[in-house]
Structure formats: structure tokens, C-alpha cells
Amino acid sequence: MPAAIAKAMGSTVRIESWAYVSGGGFWGSGGAGAALVPTKVSSGSGVVYDAEERLILTNAHVLDSPVGMGGVATRVKVVFSGGQVREGRVVAVDRDCDIGLLRIEEPRWRLGAESERVELVEAPLGKSSALARGERVAVLGAPLGGSLGATVGTVESPAFLADEMAAGQRGPPPLLYTQLVRLAAPIVQGNSGGPVINRAGEVVAIASTAIQTGADPGSRKPLAISIEDADAVAKVLRSGAQVRRPVLGAALEAIDEVDSVWRLDAEAGDGAQADHSDVRAVAGLLVRGLASGGPAERAGLRVGDVIVRCNGRRTRLKGDVLRELGPVAQAGRRIHVQALRWGEGVEPTRVQASVELGQR
């Protein structure tokens, strides 16, 4: 992938986030005269999203100020692949989706002969939905806050769902509103916000975080945000609007065939293992609760229904529905669900519902 990496490197940047913190006076001696001085609080990577508007796409956590201070970084420094340095201004962040957008500012100083002008090169966007398991990709960025570089690896899961994270896995809270790409690549701190590219040099995801599935270092699984979701969020952020989430109005629980039979055993009582040979075991999403007057209830869904398809696709995990909802609400958007409903008989009734999503 050398040619693709070389091409995409021109669109990749290193980001340093700075904030004013107590510096202990002019000479760092502390005391009542302690001054607030600019201090680097985090570093990461980013990619040129819109060259004309001078917009850089990155992670929200790269642009956040230190814990306890709230808000975003006071100052942002952007370092390009050619070594040029410019100031950046945070446009907006969406912490739920871990997407941030910043704008490159025009220099506030006179450019000397040694200061080259920066020509922004916009990165072409691909599709994470076109990725295949085992496909080679490259992650570009500035590991450990150093020089820009690339790491080549493969795709472990092109459509990783947030609720596939087992309870024993260690890592940050799941990105419930985004579809993720799980990678097999040695990514370290500082790569956050950098582009994940395919062989054509197209950005297919934005590096975000990792989960730890075991004790050995090899069990660290990097995750990247699908470029489709990152792009959808970035479009809202650049417009100045608030990112609103789609609302289904239903509490869902994933159940499999064994779960559904065990529930019947529980109804039999006394720990019995009843004969259910005449009962259809199902896997899907059990509706545990409904928001009163919410979208799902208005569409006719009931508590106890088991959703088996959403927009024609099989549903086994909550992420299967979240993927159909998407990260950004759209007025009047509907999803179509198919559910099984049990009454007095052994066989369930198949229920179709068209749900007009709400937003929050």
C-alpha cells in the first residue's frame, strides 16, 4: 500500500491541544502570583475534511480540555506532513460519537522565507460498508505525539457493534451511536483521530479507541468510527446545528434461542425443565418496555414482542437496530420492523410496524 499511504499522508495532520493552566509564576515558583500558561494537554491526529473551508476531522477526545476543566482545548496546534505549523480553532465536538471538527486559522504573523504556505489536500472518502474481513488497511497518524507515520493491518470486523463488547472487556464506554470497524493493527496513543485508508487511499474510518479483551498486549483491539457515520455527524457540526439522536422509544434486550426456552421454564416454576418440543425458540430483541406515547408504542409494538427484523435485516443484537437508526436524527424518518407476538396459542403472530422515529 505504499502509493496509497504516500497519497493520503498529504491530508493527515498531527494535532496538539493546549489549555491555560497554573504555571506557578513567571519562573514556575508558584505562590500568589502564579500565572496561567499554555500547556499541552493532549495530542492526536486528524485528516483534511474540506480543503476549501479549511476543516480538519478528528476525535472529540483529542480536542477536549483536561478532566475537571470542562469544555474544549483553549488552543489547538496543527502540524502538517511537510512540517508547517498552524493554529486551529475548534468548530464543534460530538462526544457521544467521538467526532470533532476544527478549522485551520490564517496565520496571525508574517510568513518569512522559511515559512511555507500550506496547501490543504482534501482526503477522498470511501465506504466502510464496502470493507471485507481480512482486507488490508493502513492507519495514518502521529503515534505518541511524534512524527506522522502509517501502520498497516487488517480488518477484523467491518461492522462491529457496540453491544458486542463483553462485560469483561476493558476500555472506554461503548460508542453506542456509531458503527465501528475493529482492526488488527498495532495502534497506539496519538493515532486517535487519524484516517484509516483502503488500498485506493480512500478514508474508510477514523481511528478512535481500543478495547482490552485479555491480559496480554495482543488482546488490545483497536476500533475506528465508520466514515459514513463520521461524515454524517461532521455535516451537522459544520452547519452549527446541534446533533440530535434518533429515538425509538423502546427498551430492548437481546435474547437467543436458549434464552427464549429458559423463559418458558421460568414460567413453569420450581426450576422445571419443561418439554417445549412444540414451541418455536426464537432469537431477536425482546421489547422490555415502551415509552408512553413514544414512536414504538404509536406504531403498535407491545411489551413482550420480539423484533426479528429491522429494515429487512435480521436482528440479534441491539446494535443491529442502532445501526439502522444511525447517529443523526432526520425529521420524518421511518424504520420498518418485523416482530413476533405470542397470545394464547403456541405459534406467534407476525407483526409489521412502521415506526416514525422521534429525536432528542
The full DSSP string for 241-269 is PPP--EE--EEEEEE-HHHHHHHHHHHH-
CATH fold of 246-359, please?
A: Pdz3 Domain (2.30.42)
For residues 221 and 211, is the Cβ–Cβ distance under 8 A? yes
Rounded-to-10 torsion of CA 158, 163, 169, 173: 100
Calculate mean pLDDT across residues 302-316: 92
* Domain spans, the chain: 2-104, 128-239, 246-359
Residue 170 has a pLDDT of: 43
- Identify which has the larger pLDDT, 279 or 356: 356
Contact 243, 236 (CB under 8 A): yes
The 10s digit of each residue's pLDDT in 19-46 is: 777 664 444 545 555 567 777 878 999 9
Average pLDDT value for residue range 156-174: 57
Q: How far apart are CA 127 and CA 141, in angstroms?
A: 20
pLDDT band at residue 311 using 50, 70 and 90 as cut-offs: very high
Of 6-10, 56-60, 92-96, 321-325, least confident by mean pLDDT is: 321-325
Band (pLDDT 50/70/90 cuts) for residue 107 is confident
Average pLDDT of the residues in 339-348 = 79
pLDDT band at 166; cut points 50, 70, 90: very low
Nearest to 96, CA basis, from 185, 208, 211: 208
Mean pLDDT of the chain: 82
- DSSP β-bridge partners for residue 310: 313, 337
Whether residue 172 is predicted with pLDDT greater than 50 in this model: the reply is: no
Task: Give the integer Cα–Cα distance in Å for 87 and 59.
Answer: 17
pLDDT of residue 16: 92
Asked which of 97-106, 181-190, 251-260, 344-353 is least confident by mean pLDDT, the reply is 251-260
Exposure letters 234-245 (e unless 16+ CB within 10 A, then b): bebbbeeeebeb
Per-residue cell: 64 = 477536549
CA dihedral 349, 350, 355, 360 (to 10 degrees): 70
Q: Which of 7, 17, 193 is nearest to 98 (CA)?
A: 193
* Residue labelled with grid coordinates 502538517: 80
Residue type, position 188, single letter: V
pLDDT tens-digit readout, 113-125: 555 678 899 999 9
Report d(CA 46, CA 120) in Å as an integer.
Answer: 13
Give the number of other CB atoms < 10 A from CB of residue 348.
17
Predicted local confidence at residue 125, as pLDDT: 98
CB-hemisphere CA count at 13 Å for 251? Answer: 7
Q: The domain 128-239: what is its CATH number?
A: 2.40.10.10
CA-nearest of 91, 93, 38 to 61 is 93
Eight-class DSSP state of 64? B
Q: Give the count of beta carbons closer than 10 Å to the beta carbon of residue 359.
A: 13
2-104 against 128-239: fold identical: yes
Average pLDDT over residues 55-83: 82
**Per-residue pLDDT tens over the stretch 245-254:** 899 999 888 8
Domain 2-104 sits in CATH at 2.40.10.10
Mean pLDDT of 210-238: 83
